[in-house]
Amino acid sequence: MTDVTDMTDPTRVTADIRLVVLDMAGTTVADGGLVEQAFTAAAGALGVEAGSPDFEPMLAHVRATMGESKISVFRHLFGEEEKAQRANTAFEAAYHDLVDAGHCAALPGAAEAIAELRGQGRTVVLTTGFSRATQDRILAALGWQSVADLTLCPAEAGRGRPYPDLALTALLRTGTESVRQIAVAGDTGYDMLTGVRAGAAVVAGVLTGAHDAARLRADGATHVLGSVAELPALLG
């Protein structure tokens, strides 16, 4: 594997990357506004209708915290655990309906990039801020049950993003030797914070999802790519 040193060169990476931790929605899977649609349904289930005075600030928070564990988002928005759980259940039901209706697709080049990364001898782990049930629903819809070496959701790691738990759990579960052998890629600032806090050598932001280049860099991106399709070439 390539041993490079200049992390300022966007076309080359210097670390011996053995583990690639990839986000799903917005990074490898097209979101298409599904999170916002499902959130609208969840908020409505708790009496917060779209267009009401309380709705827009809540939606703004959802947008700002894309990538975070969804139950954590609902705990912040609704305060009480019972309300947060109800909102999360409604969110998942709405999201599952959207996925089952065919509103779920791989981003262009994503499956090919994962296959290329694995062909380079790297281990690939898909992570999400969704529950295991929702993650499995997406994987089944795409026929991706075997596309990666491992898939992880927040409940299996301890805490979701922006904490480092998902990346570090991937390291432990795959037997990777060092955090400096990890590359983390995602479309949100929270993905970047996860990578930085885990000590990953490469923290790559992609511009196919929630946050722009400025937000990704502000939260620690070492590289900003047009899409995940560019990642295999970056790692070399």
* Domain termination residue (choose one: 64, 84, 100): 100
How far apart are alpha carbons 165 and 193 in whole angstroms?
Answer: 11
What is the domain range of residue 213?
A: 19-31+105-235
* Across 89-98, 170-179, 182-191, 210-219, least confident range: 89-98
pLDDT tens-digit map of 125-153: 999 988 899 999 999 999 999 999 999 99
Domain shared by 121 and 199, yes or no? yes
The pLDDT-based confidence of 102 (bands split at 50, 70, 90) is: confident
The answer on 115 and 230 residing in a single domain is yes
Residues 73 and 135 both lie in one domain: no
**Mean pLDDT in the chain?**
90
Q: Are 85 and 206 in contact (CB under 8 A)?
A: no
Same domain for 110 and 92: no
Does any domain span residue 202? yes
pLDDT tens digits along 40-78: 999 999 999 999 999 999 999 998 888 788 888 999 999
Instruction: Tell me what pLDDT residue 11 has.
Output: 56
Q: Which of 67, 100, 133 is the last residue of a domain?
A: 100
The reply to whether 152 falls in a domain is yes
* Strand partners for 21: 125, 184
Assess whether 27 and 67 both reside in one domain: no
pTM of this structure: 0.86
Are 45 and 153 within one domain? no
Q: What is the pLDDT of residues 190-223, one digit of tens each?
A: 999 999 999 999 999 999 998 999 999 999 999 9
| Higher-scoring residue by pLDDT: 181, 101 | 181
Q: Measure CA 88 to chain center.
A: 18
Closest to 29 in 3D by CA, of 117, 139, 124, 123: 139
pLDDT tens figures, 106-116: 999 999 999 99
Q: In the listed set 48, 66, 100, which residue is the last one of a domain according to the structure?
A: 100
Number of independent structural domains in the chain: 2
Residues 230 and 128 in one domain: yes
Q: Do 135 and 78 sit in the same domain of this protein? A: no
Pick from 1-10, 87-96, 108-117 the range whose average pLDDT is largest.
Answer: 108-117
Q: Per the domain annotation, does 25 fall within a domain? A: yes
In a domain, 182, yes or no: yes
On whether the CB atoms of residues 109 and 229 are closer than 8 A, the answer is yes
Note whether 133 and 26 are same-domain residues. Answer: yes
Q: Name residue 61's amino acid.
A: H
